[in-house]
Amino acid sequence: MKFFIADDSYSIRAMLSEIIEEEELGTVKGEAEDGIEISSELLSVKEIDILLIDLLMPERDGIETIRELGPLFKGKTIMISQVDAKEMVAEAYSLGIEYYITKPINKCEVVTVIKKVTEHYLREKSIINIQDSLKSLAGFQTEGMVHKEQEDPAMLVVSSGKSILLDLGIVGDCGYRDLLAIIKYLYSLEKHKDGTPFPPLKTLFEKVAENLLEIENDESSLKREMKACEQRVRRIIHRALEHVASLGLTDYTNPKFELYASTFFDYSVIRKKMLEIEGKSNGNMMPLRVNIKKFIEVLYMEAIELSDGKN
């Protein structure tokens, strides 16, 4: 079994990791100190089976994170917290968590709960595999549906965006889904293009937040999700910068470095990041300021160009 642990306490994460490894319950494939660092894409790429997540975290708590993941996360979730308020526990269960472990951490309880969840998860997977086998034997084909989706211009642009993000080394990272949602929204504007300029970043984050929340009137929730979306996007773009700069340090003639370094980022920013990675930056160097809007504009235009080449 593959586990992911989310808790703002390093000691709790270390304790849970130690229990899982010592009891040979599986492997811990990733950790996070806040829910905002988690996305369904990240869990999917890491092939996570069980997510252990703290209820209370600074930026985005466990309940908000589980609601954000929704049905896209196919694994099982175990909530961990010292808070035992019935209303919060009930809400967590209503969102689909399997068990609720209370702090302070008790090794016997953790082992027992994980074994039960593992057994349940494997049983469900076994049933799904049997159903898939029966469908295959019965000759159920979905090729027509797949071809239809591939022919959808919007999905083709999003698919091209995924390919570019893969080259940038950020597929599955937190913020990945936000960038794809922005690409899809920008493409929808192209259908009724009336000469309006590229939307402000605030509008892009607002549209993505509205889509994720599916709430029209809850202004406070919308503002929180907009801020979270902006933070996720900024973080993932900085990771892309680090990836591209690392490619340049390894091989300055690397085709991906030559293509993406000057396209997505300003040369001065790339150079500063390379010096920073090499440990040659000095204390007087200004903090890196990445042009987020430029990155998104270029990503969208590159996705459009790539999708046109596939047609």
- Tell me, what's the pLDDT at 210? 81
pLDDT class of 300 with cuts at 50, 70, 90: very high
Contact in structure between 72 and 176 (CB atoms under 8 Å): no
Query: What would the pLDDT profile of 8-46 be if each residue is shown by its tens digit?
Result: 999 999 999 999 999 999 999 989 988 888 888 889 888
Query: What would the pLDDT profile of 216-251 be if each residue is shown by its tens digit?
Result: 556 777 888 888 889 999 999 998 999 888 888 888
pLDDT over 90 for what percent of the chain? 21
- Tell me, what's the pLDDT at 150? 47
- The alpha carbon of residue 40 and the mean position of all alpha carbons in its chain are separated, in whole angstroms, by 5
Spell out the domain ranges in the chain.
2-124, 150-310
136 versus 143: which is more confidently predicted? 136
Place of tokens 């086998």: 133
Could you tell me whether strands 50-54 and 99-102 are parallel, antiparallel, or unpaired per DSSP bridges? Answer: unpaired
Mean of the pLDDT values across residues 148-163? 75
Report the b/e string of 249-286 with b at 16+ CB within 10 A: eeeeebeebeebbeebbeeebbebbbeeeeeeeeeeee
- Tell me, what's the pLDDT at 50? 94
**pTM of the complete model:** 0.53
Q: How far apart, in whole angstroms, are the C-alpha atoms of residue 160 and residue 180?
A: 10
Query: What would the pLDDT profile of 89-106 be if each residue is shown by its tens digit?
Result: 778 888 888 888 888 889
- Tell me, what's the pLDDT at 193? 58
Q: How far apart, in whole angstroms, are the C-alpha atoms of residue 62 and residue 66?
A: 6
Listing from the earlier edge strand, what are the strands of the sheet with 27-32?
A: 27-32, 2-6, 50-54, 76-81, 99-102
**Cross-strand pairs, 81:** 102
> Which CATH superfamily groups domain 2-124?
Response regulator (3.40.50.2300)
pLDDT class of 149 with cuts at 50, 70, 90: very low
Instruction: Note the maximum CA span of the chain.
Output: 69
Sequence letter at residue 107: K
Q: Where is average pLDDT lowest: 78-87, 123-132, 150-159, 241-250? A: 123-132
